[in-house]
Amino acid sequence: MDFSTSMAVVASGMKAQSERMKTIAENIANANSTATTPGGDPYRRKIATVSSSFDRELGANLVTAGKSVTDKSDFRTQYDPGNPNADAKGYVKLPNVDALVEIMDMREAQRSYEADLTAMDATKSMLAKTVDLLNK
């Protein structure tokens, strides 16, 4: 694998992880929101998708971020009869977002991004050493 292919593969991974982190950040930001209208549904958790495809020009697999899909799990409920969004029994629907799960997903995405960054730095270093050797 040549340097440009290595850089393209690593860059695709970094971009995919960046998109994944954006989706996770959106989930965390909306973890405690409620519906905008009484009786409506609150924010629904999104799950980032990542896929791999073979690039014939590069001769390598590249990673791309797909569209986020919504998590169909049940909403959380909280007893709050004074809330205008409460149902007849006094329960308010809250997003199906678990902050602990989101934080762990964020750490995993961050570590994957950092691994890609380390690979990119190593590739740049090898490229610089190759250029230095050719100039001697």
Amino acid at 109: A
pTM: 0.85
The reported pLDDT for the residue numbered 14 is 96
Q: What is the distance between the alpha carbons of residues 99 and 6, in angstroms, rounded to a whole number? A: 35
Across 9-19, b (16+ Cβ under 10 Å) vs e yields bbebbbbbbeb
pLDDT per residue as tens, the chain (136 positions): 688 899 999 999 999 999 999 999 999 999 999 888 777 899 999 999 999 999 999 889 999 999 999 999 999 999 999 888 888 898 999 999 999 999 999 999 999 999 999 999 999 999 889 888 888 7
What pLDDT does 1 receive? 63
What are the residue boundaries of the structural domains of the chain, listed by start?
A: 3-135
Instruction: Spell out a b/e string for 88-108, using b for 16 or more CB atoms within 10 Å of the CB, else e.
Output: eeebbbbbbbbeeebeebbee
User: What is the residue whose two structure tokens read 């919504």?
Assistant: 70
Do you know the residue count of the chain?
A: 136
